[in-house]
């Protein structure tokens, strides 16, 4: 699995819909027709916070993820990036 640079800005892909569920959430990518299950409500909170955060690390910190758990959530975000559910945010000129 590729790694995700936690110090870069990330966001949900514009074609991804998030449906919160009691177990976490369903993510559906309308472009690729892929479905992902988030079985962790903290990961859901991170994903929902990405758009308003300066980096993935800041999103993790904003929802209370400590340094000990950061590698685990970094791997989860990398998996979401690999499946195009989250994308690196481009800087507008």
What pLDDT is stored for residue 64 in this prediction?
Answer: 97
pLDDT of 3: 73
Domains, the chain, with CATH or none: 10-88 (3.90.930.70)
Mean pLDDT by 10 residues, the chain (93 residues): 84 96 94 95 96 96 96 95 93 53
Which pLDDT score, from 0 to 100, does residue 91 have?
A: 64
Identify the pLDDT of residue 93: 40
User: Cα(60)–Cα(92) distance, rounded to whole angstroms?
Assistant: 24
Q: Can you tell me the distance from the alpha carbon of 54 to that of 68, in angstroms, rounded to the nearest whole number?
A: 21
Q: Can you tell me the distance from the alpha carbon of 24 to that of 52, in angstroms, rounded to the nearest whole number?
A: 20
């Amino acid at each position: 699995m590729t790694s995700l640079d936690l110090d870069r800005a990330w966001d949900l892909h514009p074609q991804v819909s998030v449906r919160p569920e009691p177990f976490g959430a369903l993510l559906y990518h309308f472009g690729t027709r892929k479905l992902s299950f988030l079985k962790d409500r903290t990961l859901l909170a991170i994903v929902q916070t990405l758009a308003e955060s300066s980096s993935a690390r800041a999103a993790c910190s904003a929802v209370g993820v400590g340094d000990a758990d950061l590698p685990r959530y970094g791997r989860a975000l990398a998996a979401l990036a690999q499946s195009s559910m989250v994308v690196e945010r481009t800087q507008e000129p």
